[in-house]
Structure 1
Amino acid sequence: MSALRAEWTKLRTAGDLGRLLLLAVALTAAVGCGTAEAVKCPDTGCGRDAVKLALTGVTVGQAVVAVLAVLAVSGEYGTGMIRTTLTAMPDRMTVFAAKATVLAAVVLASGTVAVLASLLGGRLLLPGSGFTEAHGYAPLSLADGPTLRAAAGSVLYLALVALLGLGVATAVRDAATAIGIVLGLLYVFPVVIGVVQDPEWQRHLQQVSPMTAGLAVQATVHVRELPIGPWAGLGVLAAWAAAALLAGGLLLRGRDA
């Protein structure tokens, strides 16, 4: 418990990290609402996924979450505070687990606010864009199973992105390098997928891409046509995050601070 309290205190008192959390929430909700306002559905059965449109902001907010997670670790290395932390708490794995737990809890809480705000914005704005019951779209509601899964999955997605960033930052220590690696993993895969011409290779890349596979959890229509199922896709991102945490934890334990 002392390790958790210490990590919570450090995260809570770091002003930049708090502002980044607010920015992540604001960007996620704003981009989702902007998309809901901009995309139109003029006819019945226009084929768009209204829930995924409302949650589009997650693709932007995740970048801020990744940066926040990296800075939560690299900031300590940059100031030398990590030596004080490890002197006060010699068990490095306890410190690492506490960092991961506190970061995940904070991102889960802020991610919940961001996702709920996005869905509320979608519920209010999408009917004005043609996503009406007359066109085959019921108002967005968490009482709908696929919508609830997309919402909960999006919150978990953001938390997993944070853990991915934490693991990479612990492994490489340098903030710029860690941010580049994490954002590259998230955003470069889709670019490569767009360049590849072979449909089978495209499908395989989509199945292993952290972002493409992970965001499959947001889909509520044409789910059987996805390269990977919603929860299986989120599991791919979880595997990336677990690998990063394992690498970071082993390097933290085996080298000098």
Structure 2
Amino acid sequence: MSTLERGLGRRSGRRHGGGPLGGALHAEWTKLRTVQSTGWLALGIVALTVGLGLAMTGTLSSDGCGTPCAEDTVRLSLFGVRLSQAAVVVLAVLAVGNEYATGMVHTSVMALPRRAWALAGKFAVVAGTVLVAATVAVGVSLLVGRWVLPGRGFTAANGHPPLSLADEPTRRAAIGTVLYLVLIGLLSAGVAVLVRDTAGAITGVLVLLYIAPLVASLVSNARWERRLHRYAPMDAGLAVQVTRHLQPPDIGPWAGLGVLGVYAAAAVVAALVVFEVRDA
């Protein structure tokens, strides 16, 4: 049976181009799209991002905020990412963890000449799926904000022209938010490989994301509070959404996203190394 699987894996790579990686991408995409939870979780990413963003902008009022109003309406429109990232974590962990739970991981690695190709294909498919869902979620959130905010008093007259990707800070926040969710997906997938337990991986990543802001709110030392915001993956990564400097930032927008990128890269590289040398 293993000989047949290896043969099928090699033929799949030739058929879909790109050698072993092409075959891995095709196989991982086939597996991911045939899992019922994938579609629901992708829909959840969009619904949670748009829904919470609408709740924030729909209840906002420009009354009493001054002229020009200092509210960061772009960041508020994209606020739902703080919740929808949980759906990204679950999607990415299930994409990896389900194979450990069912034992299918053994078949995956036997069908390819090198184990790392199977995992690289899985990471690429997870990143691509999250990229599509995140792009839709961010785009719709900004459209909803553009539609809702003028009715709440946020108009060009008080310093808030309609949200538009033609505006550089808005475009940076939109692109950065999409990349943020992709990096969260890669971080989660990497942790799932290292932990090899679905519940443990989901819990671990969610704690990593949400615990630092909670701890920072309880810390009385201003220096340590700033350090937590600067180096915690969620706080640092979401600095890319800031378009108005309401207060001195703890870290710059792209530098903050870079901090999250280091977390994600460390998880992915560690997962590739461990997956190559450890028994599946």
Give the TM bin, normalised by the shorter chain.
Answer: over 0.9
1:225 counterpart SS class:
coil
Please give the TM-score of this superposition, normalised by the length of structure 1. 0.97
Equivalent residue number for residue 195 of structure 1: 218
Conserved 8 A contact 1:147-1:220: yes
1:136: how far off? Answer: 1.2
1:227 aligned onto 2:250? yes
Q: CA offset at residue 132 of structure 1?
A: 1.3
Residue pairs, 1:47-66, within 5 angstroms: 47-66=70-89
Instruction: Give the Å deviation of 1:162.
Output: 0.1
- What does residue range 236-251 of structure 1 map to in structure 2 within 5 Å? 236-251=259-274
| Correspondence for 2:54 | 33
Q: Is 1:120 the equivalent of 2:153?
A: no
Asked which structure has the greater CA Rg, the reply is 2
4+ runs deviating over 6 angstroms: none
Contact 2:62 2:154 in 1 (8 A): yes
In 2, Cα distance between equivalents of 1:223 and 1:148: 19
- What's the counterpart of residue 125 of structure 2? 102
Which residue of structure 2 aligns with residue 256 of structure 1? Answer: 279
Match of 2:33 among 12, 21, 37: 12
Opposite residue 200 of structure 2, the aligned amino acid is: T
TM-aligned CA deviation for residue 106 of structure 1: 1.2
Match of 2:168 in 1: 145
Q: Tell me, which stretches of 5 or more residues in structure 2 are unaligned?
A: 1-21
Q: Whole-Å Cα distance in 1 between the matches of residues 220 and 277 of structure 2?
A: 43
Quick one: which amino acid aligns to residue 198 of structure 1? N
TM-aligned CA deviation for residue 45 of structure 1:
2.9
* Residue type of the alignment partner of 1:207: R
Distance 1:249 1:115 in 2: 30
The answer (yes or no) to whether the contact 1:123–1:139 under 8 Å persists in 2 is yes
Q: Where do residues 166-181 of structure 1 align in structure 2 (5 Å cutoff)?
A: 166-181=189-204
Deviations 1:28-67 (A, max 9, x none): 1111111110121114233210100000011111010011
- Give RMSD over aligned pairs: 1.1
Q: What CA distance in whole angstroms lies between the structure 2 residues aligned with 1:145 and 1:224?
A: 20
TM-score, normalised via structure 2 length: 0.89
Contact 2:69-2:160 within 8 A present in 1 as well: no
- Separation in 2, partners of 1:180, 1:220: 31
CA distance in 1, matches of 2:35, 2:113: 23
Residue 131 of structure 1, aligned match among 154, 158, 168: 154
Consecutive unaligned residues in structure 1, runs of 5 or more: none
Separation (CA, whole Å) in 2 of partners of 1:217 and 1:174: 31
**Percentage of pairs with the same residue:** 53
